[in-house]
Amino acid sequence: MSDLTTTAPRRKDTPLRRLARQFLEDRIAVAALAVFLAVALFTLLGPFIVPQNPYDLAQLDFMDGGLPPGSQSFSGMTYWLGTDTQGRDMLSAIAYGLRISLAVSFTSLILALIIGVAAGLAAAYFGGRIDTLIMRVVDIQLSFPSILIALILLALFGRGIDKVILAIVIVQWADFARTVRSSAIVERRKEYIEAAHCLGLSRQRTMFRHLLPNSLPPLIVLATVKIASAISLEATLSFLGAGVPITQPSLGLLIANGYDFLLSGRYWIAIFPGVALLITIVAINLVGDRLRDVLNPRLQK
């Protein structure tokens, strides 16, 4: 612990800082993180830099539909990645589509995380019947393939962004609950929890201020993996026509639209959104892999 000699007490080596340092040691992970940040930036700033709002039907002209990459519109705008059949500029459509994909997956991830963590902590902390009840629900849920559950839910609810989010939350909370519970059970038996009890701290305080932070590492890894799977789940649902409305395509729906044209040689309608989806998911997964390595004590030097 070199910190003892070099740093002032205020700047001690927190677990988070140690994590960041170790993470940065891997070049691929850093590159992946950079790519992901670039994608995130692109989706945040997208509406200000792309030439068209593909969700505003008044800005589209189907007479410009199906143009190959690099074509010019009637008004002189260049379609760098071509257009789909409705005359959507593919670059703009990808920017907006990514926005929907990321917004849907992050929102649903956070909601699933909150529900999962609360349920998992409660199960670990209280044990007994509450534990059994929550964990059996989790077991039942995990025994069904997630795409199946999501499709059934959407068939019941109908299409819509809010409904996709709800479906993903319902599919994903169980994983979080299970992970948090297992690491919290280990932590619960440690002395500092007993100490907290002896000090007469409230249950909530013990659970959220003491138990939770120490159960976090596996959760962080799981969350990065799950964000990637939420993105692909959303894309799958939209591709199958059960997700977002057709006038507001996400990446999955853009790919589905282009799928019909692959045979006829208009590759750009499906390929470019596909590549965008691929890059995003691979980047997130690489970051997640590195985080897992860093946080796994067995792999520590």
Binding region for other proteins (CB under 8 A): 56-58, 60-63, 65-66, 85-87, 241, 245-247, 259-266
User: Please, which residue, 208 or 261, has the CB nearer to other proteins?
Assistant: 261
> In this structure, what token pair is assigned to residue 73?
């519109």
Burial class (CB in 10 A: 0-12, 13-18, 19+), 11: exposed
Rounded to a whole number of angstroms, the minimum distance from the CB of residue 103 to other proteins is 20
Minimum CB distance to other proteins, residue 261 (Å): 6
Nearer to other proteins, 65 or 218 (CB): 65
Q: How far is the C-alpha of 71 from the C-alpha of 37, rounded, in Å? A: 29
Nearer to other proteins, 160 or 218 (CB): 160
Pick between residue 155 and residue 299 the one whose CB is nearest to other proteins. Answer: 155
CB of 276 to other proteins, least distance (A): 21
Bridge partners of residue 79, in order along the sequence: 71
**Nearest distance in Å: CB 278, other proteins:** 20
Q: Which one, 126 or 259, has the nearer CB to other proteins?
A: 259
- The residue (of 71 and 182) whose beta carbon lies closer to other proteins is 71
CB 149 → other proteins: shortest distance, Å? 20
Write the secondary structure of the chain as one string of H (helix), E (strand) and C (coil). CCHHHHCCHHHCCCHHHHHHHHHHCCHHHHHHHHHHHHHHHHHHHHHHHCCCCCCCHHHCCHHHCCCCCCEECCCCCEECCCECCCCCEHHHHHHHHHHHHHHHHHHHHHHHHHHHHHHHHHHHHHCHHHHHHHHHHHHHHHCCCHHHHHHHHHHHHCCCHHHHHHHHHHHHHHHHHHHHHHHHHHHHCCHHHHHHHHCCCCHHHHHHHHHHHHHHHHHHHHHHHHHHHHHHHHHHHHHCCCCCCCCCCCHHHHHHHHHCCCCCCCCHHHHHHHHHHHHHHHHHHHHHHHHHHHHCHHHCC
Which residue, 86 or 232, has its beta carbon nearer to other proteins? 86
- 132 vs 247, which CB is nearer to other proteins? 247
- AA letter at 76: G
- The answer to whether the Cα torsion of 160, 41, 281, 112 is positive or negative is negative
Q: How far is the CB of 282 from other proteins (least distance, A)?
A: 26
Q: In angstroms, what is the minimal distance from the CB of 180 to other proteins?
A: 39
- Min separation Cβ 155 and other proteins, Å: 10
